[in-house]
Amino acid sequence: MTHSFHIPVLGLAFSIDSPLKVARFGISSVISIVDDELIERIRAYYCTLNKKEYHPITKKEPDYRAHRISSYLNLVSNIVQEQIEHMRIEFLKRIRDRSLLPAHPRIPPRKKYLL
């Protein structure tokens, strides 16, 4: 049976960064892109948090709203890809360390479970 999860729009501030919190787990969500000022503040926050270069997009730039939204969506995509890669690497390390496999005396030896 395949499961499908999604998180609906909850409001501007609630859904602006929900993909950054749940996408790595395969849960779909949406981003409210109505308020470009909020998007720019959140982009600055996540750039700082993830040690990424941040260049402010001011209202003086041509088509600044589209540029802010595009930059934020690109940032979210990059961060989620990094989170997924980090989870994959951690999983592979744990398999190598065999820490994901049970250590109960009644369970057959761990070698049986390894690929």
Looking at residue 76, its pLDDT comes to 95
Q: Which two tokens stand for residue 27?
A: 């849960």
Banded pLDDT at 111 (limits 50, 70, 90) = low
Interior/surface letters 69-93, b for 16+ CB within 10 angstroms, e for the rest: bebbeebbeebbeebeeeeeeeeee
Amino acid occupying residue 59: K
What does the pLDDT look like over 66-108, one tens digit per residue? 999 999 999 999 999 999 999 888 888 777 666 555 555 565 5
What does the pLDDT look like over 23-55, one tens digit per residue? 888 888 888 888 999 999 999 999 999 999 999
What does the pLDDT look like over 62-75, one tens digit per residue? 999 999 999 999 99
